[in-house]
Amino acid sequence: MIRKAILQDARQIHKLLLNYAKDGLVLPRSLMEIFEAIRDFYVYVDNERVVGAAALNICWEDLAEVRSLVVHEDFGGRGIGRHLVEACISEARQLGIGRVFALTYQQTFFEKLGFAVIEKSELPQKIWGDCIKCAKFPECDEIALSISL
């Protein structure tokens, strides 16, 4: 079941993110950052356990990012990631956001959802807002993709 995250989900989201961050597959987020952004998150819950999460981060009046997309490895291949991204896109549409992007290593996954590769330079709000603070900046090897809504 996919639903908006609640405060009680924060520790489980954090644990999921840490599992992938240690391998460099997603950027780490502190537990405090997750609490602060809990309203951005959707979670997939199986028997009261958070096994997937994704956040829709609004960057500008017409731009949002799908970030922190993770699915527990035992639940991979079941479409959970796709449903989480679709939930984020649905919310973006409701908010009147015209474009959603992702920075990822999972290019094929996002392309199957209708995203297309773009240049990072098309995302100045992201670069100067978040990327500049990242340890990978300016040598980021993530792929930028976006979808127009």
Model pLDDT for residues 63-105, shown as the tens digit of each residue: 999 999 999 999 999 999 999 999 999 999 999 999 999 989 8
Indicate the CATH number for domain 2-148.
Answer: 3.40.630.30
All structural domains of the chain with their residue ranges: 2-148
User: Above pLDDT 90, what percent of the chain?
Assistant: 73
Contacts 24+ apart (CB under 8 A), 32-39: 34/10, 35/7, 35/10, 38/5, 38/6, 38/7, 38/9, 38/10, 39/4, 39/5
Report the amino acid identity of residue 4.
K
pLDDT at 123: 82
pLDDT at 91: 98
**Does 125 score more than 90 pLDDT?**
no
pLDDT at 120: 81
pLDDT at 128: 47
**How far is Cα of residue 138 from the mean position of the Cα atoms in its chain?**
20
- What predicted TM-score, i.e. pTM, was given to this entire model? 0.90
User: Above pLDDT 70, what percent of the chain?
Assistant: 89
- In DSSP terms, 6 is beta-bridged to none
Confidence of residue 11 (pLDDT cuts 50, 70, 90): very high
Confidence of residue 134 (pLDDT cuts 50, 70, 90): low
Give the C-alpha separation, 137 to 102, whole Å: 16
Once rounded to an integer, what is the mean pLDDT over residues 12-20? 96
